[in-house]
Amino acid sequence: MNENAKARINGILLSIAHKIGLFLAMTVICLPGLWIVLASFRPTVEIMAKPPVWIPQDLSLDAYVAMFSGVGQGGIPVIEYFRNSLIISVTSTAIALAIGMAGGYAFARFRFRAKSSIFLGLMLTRTVPGIALSLPLFFVYSKLGIIDTHFGLIMAYVALNVPFTIWLIDGFFRQVPKDLAEAAQIDGCTRWQAFWQVEFPLAGPGIASAGIFAFLTSWNEFALASQLTRSVNSKTLPVGLLDYTAEFTIDWRGMCALAVIMIIPALVLTFIVQKHLVSGLTSGAVKG
């Protein structure tokens, strides 16, 4: 067997091993999500069985029927929780993106005193876990009277998301050559028009990436929401999962069904922006 044949066989074997490795990795990653989906259709007996029942024996939609049939009749107020999550997540993401675009552009394009120190300070705020902020935030919000409000959670999530969005968008604006904006200004565009018509479209993948991460952070956050909300008027879907817990029992099937309802919007949004998200993750966030 010549060297070319050996190299070809080695390449094929390496490709097969690579694909098998990817398949196993994706199986491990997707297995918890698949288990949640299956558990939402299974009776509690199967969910709690030891050893675990891997192949479902009795599937039904009872958990979903019970979830939505009780709306407005003393059941789990899923619609209200969903509305609260949507309002809080979308609003906080929009505000974080607006601030992130302004901050990222400023760090990428302008020179000013203590620029590196300010940027480092922003990044260091990401080292503080959200749960550590819950107690001081609770006392501050109590003084301000914004406990159990949309406004309170939106401000908390904006503060959590702004450092990351600034960092990510800053990296993308650094990838856009300054010459393009300067050429647009020479052709008659104002600085504002050059930004929106030239630089903003080129940085679009980075902004989309920042937006999806900010949205998912707000959508899935539990620690702060559980401390800063009290009633149906402001509780989000993650906090709503606690409604399935009682003093001595937990409705695992109902909890998994609500988790599936939470997952669907995130999957849909990710699917819509996946093109921008993939290009953003592969070509952006690189310091120039």
> What is the rounded average pLDDT for all residues in the chain?
83
Q: Which of 40-54, 106-120, 211-225, 274-288 has the lowest mean pLDDT?
A: 274-288
Whole-model pTM: value is 0.81
In DSSP notation, 29-82 reads HHHHHHHHHHHTTS-HHHHT-SS---S-S---SHHHHHHHHTTTTTS--HHHHH
pLDDT single digits (tens) 119-135: 888 888 878 777 788 88
Residues 6 or more apart whose Cβ sits within 8 Å of residue 170? 103, 104, 105, 107, 108, 119
Cβ contact 175:288 at 8 Å: yes
Inform me whether the pLDDT recorded for 283 exceeds 90.
no
Chain centroid to Cα 206, Å, comes to 15
Closest by CA position to 203, among listed 195, 213, 212, 193: 195
* pLDDT score of 71: 55
Tell me the angle at which helices 62-69 and 252-272 cross, rounded to the nearest 10 degrees.
90
* pLDDT score of 288: 42
CA distance 217 to 199: 27
Q: Is 123 helix (H, G, I), strand (E, B) or coil?
A: helix
Structure tokens at 2: 């010549």
CA distance 210 to 165: 5
For residue 92, name the pLDDT band (cuts at 50, 70, 90). Answer: very high
Q: Give the mean pLDDT of 2-12.
A: 77
Kindly list the structural domains of the chain, giving each domain's residue range(s) and its CATH number in brackets, ordered by start: 3-61 (no CATH), 66-283 (1.10.3720.10)
Which runs of E-coded beta strand occur in 129-199?
A: none
